[in-house]
Structure 1
Amino acid sequence: MGYLKRNRAKDHDSVFFWETAACFLNHELPKIRKKSTNTVTAYRISLNICIDYLEDVKGIQREKICFCDLKKENLKDFLVWMGQEKKWSPKTCNLRMTAVRSLLSFAAEECMDITYLFAASKTIRSLNVPGREIEYFEDDQLSGILEAPGKEKRSERRNRMLLILGYDAAMRVGELIDLNVENIHLDAEIPYVRILGKGEKYRSVPLMGKTVEHLRKYLYEFHGDISDPSAPLFYAVTHGRIHSLSDDCIQKVLKKYTEKCRVNGIHMPANVHFHMLRKTRAMNLYQEGCPLSYIQQMLGHENISTTSGFYAFVTLNTLAEAIGKANPDRKNTEKSWKKAETAKILYRL
């Protein structure tokens, strides 16, 4: 009797559920696993959506929700509900489920009574995510964008510099926003930028010669004697106060110049976002034969599979060239498997 009471205590204990979930979000993820603020926020949203589902669809009172309510049957129904009722993409649905599984994994480490729930959750298959080609700029499009900012206005010169650096160092928008003057090392033997990436992890990315030249001019104009190394590298001034640029501001900068390119007759993708500069840099390096492990380090991907999954594919031009080299002249050629001697070799048990 005592064993049954102990076995039911945690998986049916609502207090344990809420305390464990709070510890997972407020302590485990940010302090132990060093997850970024954005990641923690995404997990928090996902778990709250699951809790809302249990209350609104399954009829379980919020304050009485326990880990046993995250049983396999409910989670499978939750996955179907997200796809069919909410019309969320398979990728979004899978990310929501990842947050739930992570909570169950953490709870199972804290208490064996939750182990069976975590084990059951791992047997739920994720939704198939349709693959799609990487969005990136072609050479003429990239050149047009980087040349689009004018040189007369100060803001235009700033915008050109952030586009050049964003591309050259393959940076995320958030990483560009967080850059300070002290993160730029132009006098090192190999000039580089020190980037604070996901998971509060730093990485160093070498800068190309032309980018270094642009940066020296930019620093001289926008930061003078660099009296404050902690000042944001790219900034705006509002009411006399210097502040970092926002995500929206940087996205608008790119869209402004892609629209200018369209007006000038340069074809541009329909939906443009700053992350495409990062993908373009990685794609260009890949096409030039740079090893994926090097690209992984530059991009700050924790797992090589992330890099290969995004960038390890051949473009149409690359494929056409390879086929052309393999079979440069198709005239007067006969398919080898139609030859009698070849057929005898192929069709043999």
Structure 2
Amino acid sequence: MNALAISLQTYFTTFAHTQRDLSANTIASYRDTWRMLLKYLTSTLGMSTDAVDFDALTAMNINGFLDYLEQERHNSTRTRNARLTAIRAVLSRALPDHPEHAATITQVLAIPPKRAIKPIIEFLTPAEVDALLAAPDPATWTGRRDHTLLTMTAQTGLGISEICSLTHDDIHLGAGPHIACTGKGRRQRITPLTRVTVNTMTAYLAERTTRPGSALFCGPHGQPLSRDALEHRLATHVATARTTCPSLTPKHITMHTLRHTAAMNLLAAGVDVSIIALWLGHADTHSTDAYLHAHMAIKQAAIDRTRPPHVQPGTYRPAPDILAWLTSL
């Protein structure tokens, strides 16, 4: 076993769990990155996986791997940067133990993340949410479960990992109904539930208690739904909803879109950005500021406040008689 293999085993068996206490999702992401990197180096350099050592981790090879992710696997810039973070995390830990490879490792650590244009946040309108919630079949257990799941997600804005980890004990439907969860960065928060969500959840829980397992949203045998299962169920219902709501057709809708929808609904209701950040579990308001850029009504209101007194508020529309308008110029 070479030095790189020992460093990888030390990182994932000791450092990641004991010293850093990284989340299961982070560890899985780092693991998958190194698996792809080793396979790439094996194919590119024409050597066995066991022969790949620190001397193969040159800045040129790592940049080649990052380009491979974007060009061959069609990964986004955000994913590319996440893979680079995983590589740098392991190498930063290995550097003090392997000074003989300091020059190679330092060059890799100096690779900067790639800058990218942040896309406009996509969210659903109230009519689109209604069409999506009407898509699951209420005559089946799966349909009733999915309807409850989508209703709760669109109202609370919980992330997909948070939904997967919910249990019976996390939901409270008595006085002050709410859901308790632990989000990214191990930040614990409580999210209140509306009357509509409480009524939907109450009917669902009465049926859920007859099935095994403790997961709030479970599969046929009581096991928690995976991230892929949630996205698959959502895609199925989005396809159904598009038949009655054509405005859904051009939109790329994921579970995170419902999280954005909840945030935009709060913003439209006049809720302060700092409160929305707490609602979503953001560490600060920098992540939440993106919703301000996506909310055209807020921008329109800002323009209306700066208009001259003689100008009518709202979006400009030319007079129907274009000849009269040209004459008035």
Does TM, scored on the shorter chain, surpass 0.5? Answer: yes
Shift of 1:138: 1.3
2:93 is matched with which residue: 106, 116, 137? Answer: 106
| Conserved? CA contact 1:101–1:122, under 8 Å | yes
Partner SS for 2:2: helix
Amino acid in the other structure paired with 2:36? I
Matched with 1:232 is: 215
Q: Residue deviations 1:169-192, cap 9 Å, x none?
A: 2123343233211111223x5322
Distance 1:269 1:108 in 2: 50
Distance 1:144 1:274 in 2: 16
Matched with 1:219 is: 205
Q: Residue deviations 1:293-318, cap 9 Å, x none?
A: 4333333345654444x534242333
Q: How does 1:204-283 map to 2 (within 5 A)?
A: 204-223=190-209, 231-237=214-220, 241-270=221-250, 271-283=252-264
Distance 1:235 1:52 in 2: 35
Amino acid in the other structure paired with 1:205? T
TM-score, normalised with respect to structure 2: 0.78
| Conserved? CA contact 2:145–2:217, under 8 Å | yes
| Conserved? CA contact 1:234–1:244, under 8 Å | yes
Distance 1:221 1:313 in 2: 42
Q: How does 1:3-22 map to 2 (within 5 A)?
A: 15-22=2-9
1:193 aligns with 2:174: no
Distance 1:177 1:307 in 2: 23
Distance 2:119 2:201 in 1: 35
Whose Rg is larger? 1
Distance 1:231 1:77 in 2: 45
1:300 is matched with which residue: 275, 278, 281? Answer: 281
Relative to 1, partners in 2 of residues 1:304 and 1:51: Cα closer, same or farther, differing over 3 Å?
A: farther
Matched residue count: 311
Amino acid in the other structure paired with 2:157? A
Distance 2:207 2:247 in 1: 33
Distance 1:281 1:31 in 2: 36
| Conserved? CA contact 1:192–1:206, under 8 Å | yes
Amino acid in the other structure paired with 1:92? T
Matched with 2:35 is: 48
Q: Which runs of 5+ in 1 are unaligned?
A: 1-13, 332-349
Distance 1:289 1:255 in 2: 31
Shift of 1:115: 5.0
Shift of 1:252: 4.2
Relative to 1, partners in 2 of residues 1:260 and 1:52: Cα closer, same or farther, differing over 3 Å?
A: closer
Distance 1:156 1:16 in 2: 52
1:36 aligns with 2:23: yes
Distance 1:80 1:155 in 2: 41
Q: Once the two structures are aligned, what percentage of the paired residues are identical?
A: 25
Amino acid in the other structure paired with 2:304? G
Shift of 1:202: 4.0
Relative to 1, partners in 2 of residues 1:48 and 1:159: Cα closer, same or farther, differing over 3 Å?
A: closer
Shift of 1:162: 1.3
1:317 is matched with which residue: 273, 297, 301? Answer: 297
Distance 1:302 1:112 in 2: 36
1:71 aligns with 2:35: no
Matched with 2:271 is: 290
Relative to 1, partners in 2 of residues 1:303 and 1:108: Cα closer, same or farther, differing over 3 Å?
A: farther
More deviation in 295-304 or 171-180? Answer: 295-304
Relative to 1, partners in 2 of residues 1:63 and 1:246: Cα closer, same or farther, differing over 3 Å?
A: closer
Partner SS for 1:267: helix
Shift of 1:166: 1.6
Amino acid in the other structure paired with 2:244? N
Partner SS for 1:233: coil
Relative to 1, partners in 2 of residues 1:280 and 1:85: Cα closer, same or farther, differing over 3 Å?
A: closer
Shift of 1:277: 0.9
1:121 aligns with 2:102: no
Partner SS for 1:216: helix
Distance 1:33 1:218 in 2: 39
1:162 aligns with 2:149: yes
Distance 2:245 2:230 in 1: 23
Shift of 1:265: 4.2
Relative to 1, partners in 2 of residues 1:327 and 1:40: Cα closer, same or farther, differing over 3 Å?
A: same
Relative to 1, partners in 2 of residues 1:35 and 1:264: Cα closer, same or farther, differing over 3 Å?
A: same
Partner SS for 1:57: helix
Distance 2:224 2:14 in 1: 28
